[in-house]
Structure 1
Amino acid sequence: MSARLLADNAVQLTLNRLATTSERYCIRQDSLAPEASDACFSGPSSTSVVHSQAIANPSNTQRAVFTAWVLSDNTVQRLARLSLPGRTCSAAAYASLATAASTLPAVCVLTGTGTALKESVVLLELDKAPISTSNFLRYVNQSFYDQTVFHRFLKSSVNVVQGGGYVLNGSAYAVKPPTQTALALESTVSTGLSHTAGTIAMARTNEPDTATSQFFVNTTDNLGFDSTDLRNGYAVFGRFVHGLEGWAELLSSVSGGNEVTNPNPPVQLHWAYQIQ
Structure 2
Amino acid sequence: MTFRLTLTTTMIGLALVATPAMAKKKEAPTPDAAAAPVAPPLSPVVDADILHEPENVLLLDLSDGGRVAIRLMPQWAPHHVERIKTLASQGFYNGQIFHRVIDGFMAQTGDPTGTGQGGSQLPDLEAEFNSLPHLRGMVSMARTNEPNSANSQFFIVFYPRFSLDHKYTIFGRVISGMQYVDAIQRGEPPANPTKIVQASLASENKAPPVAAPAPLAAPAKITADQLSNSKSN
**Superposed pair shares fold, TM > 0.5:** yes
Give the number of aligned pairs. 156
Equivalent-residue separation in structure 2 for 1:268 and 1:167 (angstroms): 13
Instruction: Name the residue aligned to 1:202.
Output: 141
Structure 1 segment 253-272 matched on structure 2, within 5 A? 253-254=185-186, 260-272=187-199
With a CA cutoff of 8 Å and minimum separation of 6, indicate the structure with the bigger relative contact order: 2
Identify which of 155, 161, 178 aligns with 2:120: 178
Cα distance, 1:264 vs structure 2? 1.4
Q: Are the structure 2 counterparts of residues 174 and 210 from structure 1 closer, same or farther at C-alpha, using a change threshold of 3 Å? A: closer
User: Is the helix fraction higher in 1 or 2?
Assistant: 2
AA at the equivalent of 1:143: G
Instruction: Name the residue aligned to 2:57.
Output: 106
Give structure 1 stretches of 5+ with no counterpart: 1-94, 228-232, 255-259
Equivalent-residue separation in structure 2 for 1:224 and 1:117 (angstroms): 32
Equivalent-residue separation in structure 1 for 2:120 and 2:55 (angstroms): 25
Equivalent-residue separation in structure 2 for 1:187 and 1:175 (angstroms): 22
With normalisation by structure 1, the TM-score equals 0.52
Cα distance, 1:181 vs structure 2? 0.5
Instruction: Name the residue aligned to 2:180.
Output: 246
User: Is the strand fraction higher in 1 or 2?
Assistant: 1
Cα deviation digits, residues 216-238 of structure 1 (max 9, x gap): 001211221101xxxxx100000
**Does the residue aligned with 1:234 lie in a helix, a strand or coil?**
coil
Instruction: Name the residue aligned to 1:68.
Output: none
Q: Are the structure 2 counterparts of residues 225 and 141 from structure 1 closer, same or farther at C-alpha, using a change threshold of 3 Å? A: same
The structure number with the bigger radius of gyration is 2
Percent of aligned pairs with the same amino acid = 24
Give structure 2 stretches of 5+ with no counterpart: 1-47, 204-233
Instruction: Name the residue aligned to 2:110.
Output: 164
Cα deviation digits, residues 30-85 of structure 1 (max 9, x gap): xxxxxxxxxxxxxxxxxxxxxxxxxxxxxxxxxxxxxxxxxxxxxxxxxxxxxxxx
Deviant stretches of 4+, over 6 Å:
none
